[in-house]
Structure 1
């Protein structure tokens, strides 16, 4: 049996409000270089190069970001299979349907879609690629695989997966999705060993995902198909029809498909994964000095301890601060305790309410 074609489809439509003020609607976090010279989008694409068994990638992005995506891919010498623009955000289930339609059209119904977020971090790309190739035959045999990073701490900011019986070597039935736990529950799950983090990364045959969305969420399937059918096509770019896509319900692929399908499976992943979902996550991944401080940009600090300083446009000078994130851009400053980093999205909502 020949190896299946694996087509990476990068979801780059997120707004990334939890990394405000660096991440904005006009330039969300995946467009920024946070851990080195390459942006998160570029790192994601570099993780699945064509010389390691993958087809040229597709990128699904917000319509205003087409130019940025094109430039970022050109900067790393990548020619995409296609760039698909969403006129408005509709979460990941419509994106999965569009990805399945696009891959089936270009590569055939049996080609595998590797659906990835553009803004995640993976410390060990080789381990990730091994997991993908390990799961390819299982996916081809009629499964929708998700990748479950092995928990390394009692994390309350992630959803979890419960792995069931063995399906194949290194692949397990997907018993259930579990919502974000409280701290004690997260500690119990860490000891249990069967619970994995929900990474939001998937591997599936293009035809199977279409069938499952048609079955479980026909409204999403219909609207996505119409948006695809009436899309504007220009060279390797495709802009979904706005009127049709506006009728598409917004829902995650987890809720729409994975919680309902009989075809779910999970591969435990040990590759140093993070969703880079908060300033605390960035602090945990960053290099630190002997006092536990992580600094980026023009930063001067005195008697600071366990802080994240991220200066982008305005320098930071800090004295005697502890356990804080201080982030500056040319037009905004964020200061908050690192252990309350998840509340960044709440302050962004408050700013929006006050039209600031």
Structure 2
């Protein structure tokens, strides 16, 4: 029995702002132990893969981040990892359907796929593997199987699954899916013992899923097939055809398939599970002091109770307050009452309405070639520190409204300005006038660092015209450097 995990890696994670932002969302934020959810999910996926292969469905922007995270896993054979890149978000049904088409093409009708989001935290690998084994047995019998998390409290932030007839030890048919309930309904669900939390994880044969989609959601299936047929699937990574993908319905796998499928099952899953859906969820991962305060980073709480503090480089001090959440990053601070943790997404919506960069970017922005940190952002200049990874190359580009001045602070850079190409060593600099073609490359086997000073009347990232780019970004000039 071949089992190939499918990781869905994307989403904005707006309820975990300011740490999770669109350009660097929840799967990539570090937990207290220094690991990321994406790192832990990939490790868990490798643990259940029977071939050492994992399919990751993500975007072009996140592909480079995922790839670099995966490379750090000693169990990973990177040549075996399959990345399928979405040109835009279209919810989970299109993503899973395309992964199923790829899996069936590679492994045939009997191969099983275990679908898991990249932003869930599960530490009990042994119990998780047992649940996967049970789910695989049902999937082999052509059931569309999901993992129902045994509820421990009347949670209003999750959807629920009502179990039906028993199909085997620890697995039952699905009677119905229900939406997020109010508190009294959630209490009734918990008391009845018939409901579990909908985890958003699944196990099925790729062929069974596709046959079911032909029957219950033919519009999604036909659009997925057309997109897959138009895609160059032998390329690495696999980039889904943009025009066909844009025509796919924006719908979840629950609505499109699971609620309509005739043969479906739920595994009673007893492993620990946390979808880290809010700062309250994140707080449960930190140890509590005698006053109920949970602290990550540099912080002190005096005469304060039941607070959560996550700090970065700065010391955060709280005096005489209760039930607050304080999350401090280099360029933004969140202060909220614990009972309003779900409302953090409203902050992001407000920032978006004002076109504020803090809705999308951190002070440090990760790019395929490395990263840059904004040191100053004034009306008359912008200053960045760039770190370029070994062998990486920024796009050949020019700017219409700003000049740039590069100074190497560490390493040796290869620079093109106009038609001239030369090496720039530490403590050496170069000026790049407006409307001048330029490119930066790291020809060495260690990171290089530069300071970039921009001067002009506009410093937006959309003032970039690309001519050549090894990362395929010449069609999207609004991405940074």
**TM-score interval, smaller chain:** over 0.9
Alignment-derived partner of residue 108 in structure 2? 108
Q: CA RMSD in A?
A: 1.6
Note if contact 2:8-2:58 (Cα within 8 Å) is conserved in structure 1: yes
Note if contact 2:10-2:27 (Cα within 8 Å) is conserved in structure 1: no
Note if contact 1:154-1:190 (Cα within 8 Å) is conserved in structure 2: yes
- Superposed displacement of residue 53, structure 1: 4.3
The separation in 1 between residues aligned to 2:320 and 2:238, in whole angstroms, is 52
Q: Which has the larger radius of gyration?
A: 2
Q: 2:15 is paired with a residue of what secondary structure?
A: helix
The separation in 1 between residues aligned to 2:341 and 2:24, in whole angstroms, is 20
Q: 1:174 is paired with a residue of what secondary structure?
A: strand
The separation in 2 between residues aligned to 1:292 and 1:142, in whole angstroms, is 48
Unaligned runs of at least 5 residues, structure 1: none
- Superposed displacement of residue 37, structure 1: 2.5
Note if contact 1:96-1:209 (Cα within 8 Å) is conserved in structure 2: no
- Superposed displacement of residue 332, structure 1: 1.3
Greater helix percent: which structure?
A: 1
Matches within 5 A, 1:262-273: 262-273=262-273
Say which of 44, 56, 65 aligns to 1:68.
Answer: 65
Note if contact 2:309-2:325 (Cα within 8 Å) is conserved in structure 1: yes
Greater strand percent: which structure?
A: 2
Alignment-derived partner of residue 286 in structure 2? 286
The separation in 1 between residues aligned to 2:201 and 2:62, in whole angstroms, is 22
**1:171 lines up with 2:157 in the alignment:** no
Say which of 43, 48, 54 aligns to 2:45.
Answer: 48
Note if contact 2:161-2:195 (Cα within 8 Å) is conserved in structure 1: yes
Q: 1:245 is paired with a residue of what secondary structure?
A: helix
Say which of 4, 7, 24 aligns to 1:10.
Answer: 7
Deviates most, 312-321 or 292-301 = 312-321
Say which of 54, 58, 69 aligns to 2:55.
Answer: 58
Larger RCO, structure (CA 8 Å, separation 6 or more): 1
Note if contact 1:8-1:55 (Cα within 8 Å) is conserved in structure 2: no
Q: 2:41 is paired with a residue of what secondary structure?
A: helix
Deviates most, 318-327 or 75-84 = 75-84
Alignment-derived partner of residue 137 in structure 1? 137
Alignment-derived partner of residue 295 in structure 1? 295
The separation in 1 between residues aligned to 2:20 and 2:294, in whole angstroms, is 19
Alignment-derived partner of residue 187 in structure 1? 187
Q: 2:343 is paired with a residue of what secondary structure?
A: helix
- Superposed displacement of residue 52, structure 1: 7.1
Alignment-derived partner of residue 90 in structure 1? 90
The separation in 2 between residues aligned to 1:108 and 1:234, in whole angstroms, is 17
Deviates most, 277-286 or 172-181 = 277-286
Alignment-derived partner of residue 34 in structure 1? 31
- Superposed displacement of residue 51, structure 1: 7.2
Alignment-derived partner of residue 149 in structure 2? 149
Note if contact 2:5-2:49 (Cα within 8 Å) is conserved in structure 1: no
- Superposed displacement of residue 232, structure 1: 4.2
- Superposed displacement of residue 315, structure 1: 3.6
Deviates most, 283-292 or 192-201 = 283-292
- Superposed displacement of residue 316, structure 1: 2.0
Alignment-derived partner of residue 19 in structure 1? 16
The separation in 2 between residues aligned to 1:207 and 1:7, in whole angstroms, is 13
Tell me how many residue pairs correspond in the alignment: 353
1:105-129 superposed Cα distances (whole Å, 9 cap, x missing partner): 2222211110001000113121011
Deviates most, 50-59 or 178-187 = 50-59
